[in-house]
Structure 1
Amino acid sequence: MLNAIIVDDEIHALERMKDFVIKSDSLNLLGSYSQAEKCLKELEQGKLPDVVFLDIQMPGVNGLELAQKIQDIDENLDVVFITAYDNYAVDAFELNALDYLLKPISKQRFKKTVQRLKEKQGLVEEKSEKIKVNSFGQLDLSYQEEKLNIKWPTLKSQELFLLLLDHKGNLVAINKLAGKLWPDKTQQKANNILYTTIYSLRKAFREIGFKKIITSKRGYYRLNLDNFDLALLEFETLITKIKSNSAFSSEEIEQLIKVYQGPYLEDVDYEWAYNYKAKLEKEYKDALLKAADNYYKQQKFQKSEQLLKTILELDFLFDPAQKKLIKLLKFQAKEELARMQYNQYRMTLSRDLGIELKISYDDI
């Protein structure tokens, strides 16, 4: 039997819902409230149900705000919204709750909601291993080596996930998140949309067995890294080691190339990601350039050449790599290849950027 609470400031509607819950064979009425603040206070003291039937339009703390606060206490609680909104508004709320009930509520519709609750409880096994997230190139989420197809409730819910991922488990202020995602809205409006988006994102992951993917603390949210294995963190660890140590291994370079499958968040276009994307690409190219220099000093010319070509596959106009490759080809007496590389670089630079290459082939 599932424990339920009801929150509705309309006494008549509250009593009708109480009657439905009491007469249900599957629900136990844990409490009913006409004031959101009183409900929240008791929840904070540990009086936790399995499901909350929650009116949206209430004075003071409205239903959407209360739902978010409830989720902050225990994100595994299911919320069923009660609303007098028309069907167009209801469509939006359906994304952010297990179900909704449109006033006046019929017995048949209430029974359908109870059935949804029963079907959900206990059917989804909580996953024990982490989701692997590679945000280089095309976004890829996998679990136990199999691609994980997340049903993003909205495009903004995916962007929110990636914005939290961008902060790598660090706390991010609610106002900052909302401001970046909805810069054209007032702060209060943006925050309210953020609350519902957080709710829908948690729900999407919970339905496939991952709980507590997002945690909160006094006005901040963060991605819970207990559930995620981020390629971004592995990349930064490798970059730090290569930057600070000349004795890095060839295996570490190979792993860096394996992790960096393309520019950061390549398949999406978020303004907040531009600078970080450019920073990561520069770090990657600089790391491979350093490794190529090391191989050159060790007279491992083939490995050095391959790394320089890897850089140029990403950015053909990266001047340091072009000049080092031409110089390396000349050093190995690959004169024809060196001239071809120089001429292709010179022509591409002129065609794409309108810039003439000032250094001559002989001076490289």
Structure 2
Amino acid sequence: MNLCGPCRFRASNESMSFLRPARFENGIYLNPVPTEVGATKHFPTILRRLITGKEERVPRRPLGPFHTDPAIFRTAPASGLRITWLGHSSLLFEVDGTTVLIDPVFSKRASFVQWFGPERFYAPPLPMADLPRLDAVLLTHDHYDHLDSAAVQQLIERAPAFICSMGVGGHLRRWGVPAEKIRELNWMDSTVLPGIGNTPLTVTALPARHFSGRSLKRYGTLWSSFALQTAERSIYHGADSGYYEGFKEIGEHFGPFDLVTLEIGAFDPLWDQIHLGPDNAMRAAMDLQAKVLFPIHWGLFNLAFHDWFQPPERITDLAAQAGLPLWLPEPGAPSEFTGEAVNTKWWRRYMSPVRDGNEATDEGVAKIAIRA
């Protein structure tokens, strides 16, 4: 969440394709459309909501513990695609013989220090030491809830490649990642991971509507979404982005996608131009021609003014209305992807039993989700 900053954007031209490299001008990258990432005018509202808000932003019951059995990684997925959600936007993809770790965050806090900042709701389900053999680490942008310096440093010896958005490589080099391991991509750039046999994985950086920065300086590195494609399947990883018409063009040129991951948490009307939230995630999924939607970026950090469980409840309702299959596994559970819907509703085990007169039943949580 950025609470202040100017509007950074590409010049508007309706005839211009969104599928083009990001513009870099005067030391900053530009968004694909006019975008407000936050303004000082919102400070009074934010302060008031921080003090008076009644939302259950942090679970009242401890979540987990969740555990991943590393023995499962000794056997390749029968379906060709196995996904382990490690929480928030940290994902382990085993795709047709290629293993990619996306936005690994293993530290206690998503912050520049470990004594202050958003704290995890539960420990990493899979310890770093138990990760399987990796072919690459994929880093979407440099915000602290996506780029963990301690995790990167521990992965230097284990990952043969670090694929990242333009400029993020500068962080990696400072942390000790050898330059020859780093592959920086602008939008529309691709890199290929060899995989096994005749199933290489092509990773393509695509536009996103967001911002970057790990200090007061913003926009100095790029933010991206990614397409991961083999001869057998096509996956879209949305990372962080607000809604814009570019999703339609991505869907037209790279879709349909067997699986689409989109963020549903850490959203608010004050910053809806840089985060989707459930409603815009559903809209984007339709634009992208998603066959299955995997909602991510929720349930691990307190980053917004909504109940921690509101995003999955809302997206569950929206998906049912739209007839779109959801993929919502439990954290840390390696799950074979077959194209069928998976919605474990695991979060309901940890919801407060009664809130404002609504019991933690399907009907009760639906009332809470709709009201939020």
The alignment's TM-score, normalised by the length of structure 2, stands at 0.25
The alignment's TM-score, normalised by the length of structure 1, stands at 0.25
Query: Which of the two has greater helix per residue?
Result: 1
Query: Which of the two has greater strand per residue?
Result: 2
Point out which structure has higher relative CO (alpha carbons under 8 A, 6+ apart). Answer: 2
Structure label with greater radius of gyration:
1
